[in-house]
A and B are shown apart, each in its own frame.
Chain A
Amino acid sequence: KQEVTQIPAALSVPEGENLVLNCSFTDSAIYNLQWFRQDPGKGLTSLLLIQSSQREQTSGRLNASLDKSSGRSTLYIAASQPGDSATYLCAVSNTGTASKLTFGTGTRLQVTL
């Protein structure tokens, strides 16, 4: 059974800092990995999707990397802003189980002025 863990559970940084969020998964037979953002009381916004054959994806100030063999992914946020404050979730889908996503526990990020 796939298990996904995110570290740290919460993080507070001053505006402008670069930061890294970590995601680890137990079963390396993944189809893809997706990073989401969730604002309080809202649904999920897809940030980046990395296919199992890829090493990284970039979108603006966000860069996600994937090391499938070690069961790890990182989300790098450059030059953080208060608007980045949210909960960040990673989720994996496994080969052979259609598109079912297994979610991590999330990292709650606060960027202060």
Chain B
Amino acid sequence: SAVISQKPSRDICQRGTSLTIQCQVDSQVTMMFWYRQQPGQSLTLIATANQGSEATYESGFVIDKFPISRPNLTFSTLTVSNMSPEDSSIYLCSVEEPRGEPQHFGDGTRLSIL
């Protein structure tokens, strides 16, 4: 299965700033996703990162707040913009390759906003 590396593993940020999270996969994958896990909650899909085109966002998530890049088949970034304490969560990327196989997740980025 694919090996997924996320950076940073954790960060503490000031209100109003932005942070970019990186997701690197050791093999080419078609499907890459970004999830959010708020404290004490389960995972919610933010968006599907599409290679070479704009990401597909789920209801409740917008590009201005969570811009996503996918320059190639092994790498993606998620930016959390203009952060507020409500953005304190774990952000995880996942991949599925090929379609229908188990999704595999990175270790996540634990984000705290003061």
Contact = CB atoms under 8 A, between A and B. Distances in A.
A and B assemble together: yes
Interface of A: 31-32, 34, 36, 41-46, 49, 51, 89, 91, 98-106
The majority secondary structure among interface residues of chain A is: strand
27 contacts: A31-B100, A32-B100, A34-B102, A34-B103, A36-B105, A42-B107, A43-B92, A43-B105, A44-B92, A44-B105, A46-B1, A46-B103, A46-B105, A49-B101, A89-B43, A91-B43, A98-B31, A98-B48, A99-B33, A99-B99, A101-B43, A101-B94, A101-B103, A103-B42, A103-B44, A105-B42, A106-B42
Given A41-B110, A42-B108, A43-B105, A51 B42 contact: no
Interface residues of B, number: 25
Q: Which 4 A-B pairs have the closest CB atoms?
A: A46-B102, A43-B107, A44-B105, A103-B42
A104 B99 CA distance: 21
A43 B103 contact: no
